[in-house]
Amino acid sequence: MFEPDFTAEADRQLSVCNACRYCEGFCAVFGAVELRAAIGDGDVAYLANLCHDCRMCFDACMFTPPHEFAVNIPALMAEARVQTYERYSRPRVLAGLFRTPGWAIGGVTLACIVVVTLLVAFGMGTTALETVQVGPGAFYRVVPYLAMVVPAVVLGAFGILVLVYGARSYANDIRSGDGRFVSLRSVSTAIRDAITLVYLKGGGEGCYDVKRGSPWRRFFHMLVFWGVLADFSATICAAIAQDLLGYLPPYPLWSIPVALGTLGGVAIVVGAAGLIALKVRSDAKPTSARMIAMDYAFLAMLETVALTGLALLAFRSTAAMGSLLAIHLGSLAALFITAPYGKFVHIVYRSIALVKNAAEQNGA
């Protein structure tokens, strides 16, 4: 639950929006506000995650501070999002990681890299970190196959469990008595809205940039999304090559897993850097410091994983391969561990909000 004062403030600001309605063309939030005579706790949780943080409504608003109506919807929504992320996360003790995202993600990443390196040094001997390894199975002579797969599966399964729990409680809280909103139609509409990132179009003006709207944020976000998907697919392809076709990595540069993985890695590096640059250069008023910290932490995490992966590829036939593999796997482990406690979770809550929005608009 939000603090009662926070919900009351959301109700106050959104009642200005409901009386004005000029921003309706930017995104789905304002259409959803119009369906509500008053804004309660579940509505705030819903609207906050329906908001894609394009910030166009802040520039367009006649009532932003210092006007006495003091409307700042993007900041309100960002703060509410931070709170929903933490609220629906379990176990509670780990949900505390949301509070200090920089330290949490930085610390976990560093710890994971150190632990993996030490495990390799003690388990495989320090020579594994310093000698040239080439030919089929080279990576597994540094980190054995099972030592890679088992932690990934365990951490992945744990993460999915936490996210499913969060998704269920969130969907329950935003249902607000109007029954089920998950249907084939609403889900397919939501998938379309999510894949196309339609609400990063700002109704045609784009998202925040140095000055006014631009298409860059949507473009960079696309790069990151498809980059992550490409890297995930590369991993699947590598598993097929190894387990079904019997080829052991490392694979040649122009093989499907390496080409796809490289493409994905470069897309993530460029996309995340672009998103960071946009945040650095944009106005800080229409956002929340906690949300921004979470954004930077997650983007830095993605950059670390992608850059270490590319470095591993570049130097895989040198003596640095062992150390680079340890560092890359350490950062990957950190990504898996922190995923349910950082900005990654926006995928879950925003998707559910999009499904509810699709259902509402279909019914409306």
Phi, psi of 35 (to 5 degrees): -80, -5
CB of 16 to other proteins, least distance (A): 5
Q: Which residues bind other proteins (CB under 8 A)?
A: 15-16, 18-26, 34, 37, 56-57, 59-63, 66-69, 203-205, 211-212
CB of 57 to other proteins, least distance (A): 7
Residue 335 C-beta-side C-alpha neighbours within 13 Å: 19
> Do 54 and 200 meet the contact criterion of CB atoms below 8 Å apart?
yes
Beta carbon nearer to other proteins, 22 or 145: 22
> Do 58 and 323 meet the contact criterion of CB atoms below 8 Å apart?
no
CB of 214 to other proteins, least distance (A): 12
Beta carbon nearer to other proteins, 14 or 345: 14
CB of 33 to other proteins, least distance (A): 11
Query: Considering only CA atoms, which of 265, 334, 261, 256 is closest in space to residue 298?
Result: 334
Element (H, E) at 59: helix 56-60
Q: How far apart are CA 85 and CA 266, in angstroms?
A: 29
Query: How does 38-77 read in b/e, with b if 16+ C-beta sit within 10 Å?
Result: ebebbbbbbbbbbbbbbbbbbbbbeebeeeeeebbbbbbb
Beta carbon nearer to other proteins, 156 or 204: 204
How far does Cα 288 stand from its chain's mean position?
17
Beta carbon nearer to other proteins, 19 or 253: 19
Beta carbon nearer to other proteins, 159 or 202: 202
CB of 58 to other proteins, least distance (A): 10
